[in-house]
Amino acid sequence: MFKTIPYVSEKVWGYENWIVSTHKVGQSKRADDNKSLPEIIGEDYPLLIKLIQANETLSVQVHPEDDYAAKVENTYGKTECWYILDAKPDATLVCGLNKDYTREELSAAIENNTLDNCLKYVPVEKGDFVFIPAGTVHAIQGGLRILEIQQPSDITYRLYDWGRPREIHIEKGLDVTKAFAPEPEKPFSKDFSCNYFSLLQQDIKSSGEKISLVPENKSSPAYQTGFVSLFVLSGSGKLFSKTENKEIDIKPEDTIIVKTNEEIVVNLDSNCENLSLMKIF
């Protein structure tokens, strides 16, 4: 059981903390001895988990599915999901297109700087959840803090970047664009699973409660590695591993990695009535 130290990636729109990463671009570390995560949980951990602070709007982008990514980029595809940690009033996300468009129509909209008219905007607030399958046109807008869970890929095709002078990937982006338009889950049902990851939110209301480290979907690739990531959504206290006879302090936005066979209990701080964890498998 250990906390992670994130790899920090500064962006023109804010920053990303890669809180669980074995990716070659940036690797998180174990807090107690500064070892890189690949040394501990292996180089091929099937998830990349980020904390995203978007002060301004990200590019309008799309990610490839596995087959296209393997063929063209020699890497994984990128299906992801977002849990909204915080949001300014009236915050929105781009989640897909507002109707079906042909490749030619989208290409012309990009060329004419009118792609904005093709996008589907959805309102979001703290506690909402959005699933973004590969092929979904999307953009995180300014004023949002997000927990992102994704496949371990850094492949992004920008379709439109609001006038910023960064590279655009029109042909590849249009190759992989699909007519998905996800709706946010408002609020999160506390349980989600797909082929790539599983999430389960657990609320702790009294000291001594045990954390369940078994997902409903036991075939989840990350669970199969023998490790579970715990992200503290709210509250403070201590995690105690009966297996290791070890205790660590936890607070909001801490990330802790534990083995699936550990027995973990939570002890709340005296001023804390409820602690909420996102378990990521």
* Positions marked active-site: 158
β-pairing verdict for 275-280 and 2-5: unpaired
Amino acid (1-letter code) at residue 255: T
Q: Rounded to an integer, what distance in angstroms lies between the CA atom of residue 200 and that of residue 207?
A: 20
Sheet containing 80-87, strands listed edge to edge, beginning at the edge strand earlier in sequence? 7-11, 14-20, 48-54, 144-150, 80-87, 129-132
Buried b / exposed e along 31-61 (16+ C-beta atoms within 10 A): eeeeeebbebbeeebbbbbbbbbbeebbbbb
Which residue(s) pair with 258 in the sheet? 228
Q: Rounded to an integer, what distance in angstroms lies between the CA atom of residue 63 and that of residue 44?
A: 20
Is the CB of residue 84 less than 8 Å from the CB of residue 53? no
Six token digits for residue 96: 């897909």
